[in-house]
Amino acid sequence: MFDINAQELWNKFGGMLLEYVPKFLLGLIVFYFGFKLINKAMLFLDKMMRVNSFDEDLRPFIITLLGLLLKVIVALSAVDLLGIETTSFVAMLAAASFAVGLALQGSLSNFASGILILFFKPFRTGDMIGIGDNIGIVQEIQIFNTILKTIHQRLIVIPNSILTGDVVENITGAGIIRLNLTFGIGYGDDIDNAREVVWSVIKGCPFLVNEEGREHKVIVEKLNDSSVDLGVWVWTKGVDYWDTMYFMQEYIKKAFDKENISIPFPQMDIHVKK
């Protein structure tokens, strides 16, 4: 049986407890309330930036980065209260950061790409951009990602490195854009009649821009196997992109139906030999 002397245990560990428990509790208090205070401060700073019309692209980036830096300082202060030398702790943190950095090269690339986007501004918050099959409004440019909202109200999170490494179309950045649409008619339909029908819809579209140097056009774009494709080129504001496209598609279809102009669709003829 072990002979445990309570007095000896207290002499060995009691002093240690009296020394480190208060420091540990104080460190926890600093850590907890420090983080809460930083979160409230960042919310206040964010509100002030919004009131003063601060750059919408830089605002979330600065808030996030400043919050992280302040939390690191609070964490180091809490560690210092525990009696751990911050110099050795910082050295350990630097070594750990190097190892983590190697493992998270993609995240570091996204961070660097985020800085490039904010500096060169190929697009800004509120712009409509297209990348790959995605088209949406830029909601926020964050440290690692950019958030788009599509016309269907879906949020798409795109890593910043993709946005700097791929082709991005800034639809609203140009102000006024040309929208290219294609409508097929049958070979038996009259091209001139179809062109007049399309022009009647163009004249009635409330979203188009009519000014010199930006003329709308209706051309024979291509002769397909089963259709004659009419190219319809119209000018509109970037912010009216979706409204213009949906208006033209709906009313040209209705006008073609009214004038008995066919819109061919793929079909197959099967010949059966008796």
Give domain limits for the chain: 14-103, 123-170, 176-258
Domain 123-170 of CATH type 3.40.50.2300: no
262-272 average pLDDT score: 71
Q: What is the CATH number of domain 14-103?
A: 1.10.287.1260
Q: What is the pLDDT of residues 182-209, one digit of tens each?
A: 999 999 999 999 999 999 999 999 999 9
Pairwise CA distance, residues 253 & 257, whole Å: 6
Pairwise CA distance, residues 170 & 86, whole Å: 47
Q: What is the pLDDT of residues 45-69, one digit of tens each?
A: 888 888 877 777 777 778 888 888 8
Question: What is the token pair recorded at 51?
Answer: 């009131």
Angle 76-81-85 from CA coordinates, rounded to 5°: 65
Q: What is the pLDDT of residues 64-105, one digit of tens each?
A: 888 888 888 888 777 777 666 656 656 666 666 655 555 456
**Architecture of the structural domain at 176-258:** 2-Layer Sandwich (3.30)
Pairwise CA distance, residues 250 & 101, whole Å: 52
Whether residue 30 is predicted with pLDDT greater than 50 in this model: the reply is yes
With bands split at pLDDT 50, 70 and 90, how would you rate the model's confidence at 1? very low
